[in-house]
Chains A and B, each alone.
Chain A
Amino acid sequence: MAIIELRNLAKSYRVYQKKEGLGASVRGLFRREYREVRAVQGIDLDVEQGEFVAFLGPNGAGKTTTLKLLSGVITPTSGTAEVMGHIPWKRENAYRRRFALVMGQKNQLWWDLPAQESFRLHQQIYRIHPGDFEKTMDELDELLDVKRLLKQPVRELSLGERMRMELIAALLHSPDVLFLDEPTIGLDVVAQHSIQQFLKYYQERRKITILLTSHYMKDVAALCQRVVIIAGGLIKYDGSLSGIVDRFGEYKVVTLQLADERQTNGFERFGEVLDVQPPRVKLRIDRSEVAGALAAILAKHVIDDVAVEDPPLEEVIAQVFSQVDV
């Protein structure tokens, strides 16, 4: 049975529509216009125990709203969700002891105190046995290398160091399900990489279920076997990362190495010419026409080498996002 089960889950917000200008502001005092924003419009999703799933989508697509619904921060407008047999928005302690939510930039640590104190508090709040606490703490410290930072007030830590502390705070009670909302946002490449490495290792070792939202394709590519694309509050794709290109990539990138570097003209009729660097020509050709185009090119030109590649993943995903917006 799936550990996370969403059925027709929907959440709408009522948003005050303020028109521009002082006059409109004054009118707004008496009569307000609201617009219904359907952040999540009825999604179905099953996640099995031990899966590492990425939510991808443009800003405002409904990714974070979904995570908030699953962690019980907000109540849905309609539909159902069950996580480990619990309905999240009932906020039962039995459920809250078994999951964690990490939101990039949002603090669950005490700002003015060393992180160690916040961890102690978590130990009590989550009723973590002292032996387990020490063991988990040692393990996490070994992976994230934070020992020397534990006694420093959190406000004096860098963003990357703070993120590591946030992760520790979230994992101390060994949650079975972890929700990560943009865990690497604002971090430099090195810090991003170390967080990725940690998550990968930890997930493989503990076999916990993780749902992650991220804008960084590198996070997703490094970590997740399964990708769910959400846009406009709906699930547009659910499958492997490479499957996205198969499904949405409408063209291939064909690179030709010509025998005669003076003959780089006249390729427009086979497809869109992306780049010409004699003797090399790069073309974008519709997937259905690749075979035909290649045959035609080979019949006309002497080719030393040819490479047919999928378009870059980022480009395909950007294209999927933009299609949804229209």
Chain B
Amino acid sequence: MLARAVTWWTVFRIALEERLVYRGDFALGTLMRFLPIITQIFLWWAVFESVGEGDRSSADIAGYHFENMVAYYLLTMLGRAFSSMPGLASGIALQIRDGEIKKFLIQPVDMVGFLLLTRVAHKAAYYAVALLPFALVFYLCRGYFIDGWPDATTMAAFVLSLAMAFLLGFFLEVSIGLIGFWFLEVTSLLFLYMLLSFFLSGHMFPLDMLPQPWNFLVESMPLKYLAYFPSAVFLGKITGPELVRGLVIEAAWLVFFVVLSRVMFHYGVRRYSGFGG
């Protein structure tokens, strides 16, 4: 057990070091994350201005005030910082395609576990750098959280939903990447996933704005747990039995994708023909 922990620590440490090699790219990539939020805020500013006919503070769109909306965006940004996995699925597919995946088959190491650890390391490096800007943005925007900070239980549920969002995002993308065992080229599929995820995770707008039947569609998909769900929990929109139900469903999706990625890896490797020399 201890030996395993040391192995994990070494993988984590080395992945962290690797992450810090390209300093410029890393710093820029981290800061660039804050850009879209500004355009989003201006966009909704204009929308609320127009709905409220010049008085945006009186405007109400599907139960959201302008302040709610900004708070919601800041929170989805945080959610996405946990659940988005840049390059994960495409990286796996590429490794299958060019044969790099062989090293995971030859060495006594579990590929998915290895990738998870390296991803945790990448995220840790990212949070370490992004903590300050995030704190600054939240501090500057504190006025938008008009309902105040959530209580301890809600906060705990929020943290739990974020942690699960990270794992769900990870195993979901791993499953997509492993499709590479069957179809060597998954770029279009990934594009579709990113598009769907952009809209249906709640990154674009709060999902409870959606009318039926769209709402039903969103409810029956796992994507909403990647951004919408944690934000809604934080804002106190989901409480009591609804909150428990939401967390249980999120956990169930997580288990589903963990199992799916295992099964796919098992059968994928059997199909694998060891490309690339």
Interface residues of A (CB under 8 A from B): 13, 64-65, 68, 71-75, 91, 93, 96-97, 100-101, 103, 105-108, 110, 112-113, 117-118, 120-127, 153, 181
With A105-B277, A112-B21, A117-B14 in contact, is A125–B109 under 8 Å at CB? Answer: yes
By beta carbon, the residue of chain A nearest B3 is A127
Write the nearest CB–CB distance from B134 to chain A, whole angstroms.
Answer: 27
Complex CA distance for A127 and B109, rounded to whole angstroms: 11
Q: Is B60 an interface residue (CB 8 A)?
A: no
Asked if B105 and A113 sit within 8 Å, CB to CB, the answer is: no
**What chain A residues lie within 8 Å of B21 (beta carbons)?**
112-113, 153
By beta carbon, the residue of chain B nearest A122 is B107
Write the nearest CB–CB distance from A17 to chain B, whole angstroms.
Answer: 16
Complex CA distance for A127 and B276, rounded to whole angstroms: 29
Asked if A68 and B17 sit within 8 Å, CB to CB, the answer is: no
Complex CA distance for A75 and B11, rounded to whole angstroms: 28
**What chain A residues lie within 8 Å of B105 (beta carbons)?**
71-73, 91
Jot down 22 A-B pairs with beta carbons below 8 A, ordered by A: A13-B273, A64-B277, A65-B274, A68-B274, A71-B105, A73-B102, A74-B273, A75-B270, A97-B108, A103-B277, A107-B100, A110-B18, A113-B14, A117-B17, A122-B107, A124-B6, A124-B7, A124-B10, A124-B11, A125-B7, A127-B3, A181-B277
Complex CA distance for A143 and B55, rounded to whole angstroms: 79
Complex CA distance for A122 and B102, rounded to whole angstroms: 15
Complex CA distance for A239 and B276, rounded to whole angstroms: 30
Complex CA distance for A91 and B270, rounded to whole angstroms: 11
Interchain CB contact (< 8 A) of A112 among B18, B107, B109: B18
By beta carbon, the residue of chain A nearest B101 is A73
Write the nearest CB–CB distance from A62 to chain B, whole angstroms.
Answer: 12
Q: Is chain A's interface secondary structure helix, strand, loop, or mixed overall?
A: mixed
Residues of B in contact with A, size category:
20 to 34
Write the nearest CB–CB distance from B14 to chain A, whole angstroms.
Answer: 5
Interface positions of B from 96 to 122, Cβ below 8 Å from A:
99-100, 102-103, 105-109
Interface positions of B from 227 to 277, Cβ below 8 Å from A:
269-270, 272-274, 276-277
**19 extra A-B contacts, CB within 8 A, seeds A96-B108, A108-B103, A123-B10:** A65-B274, A68-B102, A71-B105, A71-B106, A73-B102, A73-B105, A74-B274, A93-B108, A96-B107, A97-B108, A106-B276, A107-B100, A112-B18, A113-B17, A113-B18, A117-B14, A124-B11, A125-B7, A125-B108
Number of A-B contacts (CB under 8 A): 72
Write the nearest CB–CB distance from A259 to chain B, whole angstroms.
Answer: 56
By beta carbon, the residue of chain B nearest A99 is B106
Asked if A106 and B273 sit within 8 Å, CB to CB, the answer is: no
**What chain B residues lie within 8 Å of A93 (beta carbons)?**
108
Interchain CB contact (< 8 A) of B10 among A112, A120, A181: A120
By beta carbon, the residue of chain B nearest A14 is B273
**What chain A residues lie within 8 Å of B10 (beta carbons)?**
120-121, 123-124
By beta carbon, the residue of chain B nearest A89 is B270
Interchain CB contact (< 8 A) of B272 among A74, A96, A124: A74
**What chain A residues lie within 8 Å of B108 (beta carbons)?**
93, 96-97, 125-126
Asked if A96 and B106 sit within 8 Å, CB to CB, the answer is: yes
With A106-B99, A106-B277, A113-B17 in contact, is A72–B106 under 8 Å at CB? Answer: yes
Complex CA distance for A122 and B277, rounded to whole angstroms: 23
**What chain B residues lie within 8 Å of A68 (beta carbons)?**
102, 274
Complex CA distance for A68 and B17, rounded to whole angstroms: 32
By beta carbon, the residue of chain A nearest B21 is A112
**What chain A residues lie within 8 Å of B6 (beta carbons)?**
124
Asked if A120 and B14 sit within 8 Å, CB to CB, the answer is: yes
By beta carbon, the residue of chain A nearest B6 is A124
Complex CA distance for A23 and B270, rounded to whole angstroms: 33
**What chain B residues lie within 8 Å of A108 (beta carbons)?**
103, 107
Write the nearest CB–CB distance from B12 to chain A, whole angstroms.
Answer: 11
By beta carbon, the residue of chain B nearest A107 is B100
By beta carbon, the residue of chain B nearest A64 is B277
Asked if B270 and A106 sit within 8 Å, CB to CB, the answer is: no
Asked if B18 and A73 sit within 8 Å, CB to CB, the answer is: no
With A64-B277, A73-B274, A127-B3 in contact, is A101–B106 under 8 Å at CB? Answer: yes
Complex CA distance for A64 and B273, rounded to whole angstroms: 12
Asked if A121 and B106 sit within 8 Å, CB to CB, the answer is: no
Complex CA distance for A42 and B99, rounded to whole angstroms: 25
Write the nearest CB–CB distance from B4 to chain A, whole angstroms.
Answer: 9
Write the nearest CB–CB distance from B48 to chain A, whole angstroms.
Answer: 46
Complex CA distance for A122 and B108, rounded to whole angstroms: 10
Write the nearest CB–CB distance from B13 to chain A, whole angstroms.
Answer: 9
Most buried by A among B18, B21, B108: B108
**What chain B residues lie within 8 Å of A107 (beta carbons)?**
100
Complex CA distance for A96 and B105, rounded to whole angstroms: 9
Complex CA distance for A309 and B157, rounded to whole angstroms: 85
Interchain CB contact (< 8 A) of B11 among A71, A101, A121: A121
Write the nearest CB–CB distance from B3 to chain A, whole angstroms.
Answer: 6
Complex CA distance for A113 and B13, rounded to whole angstroms: 12
Complex CA distance for A322 and B228, rounded to whole angstroms: 65
Most buried by A among B10, B106, B270, B272: B106
Complex CA distance for A120 and B107, rounded to whole angstroms: 14
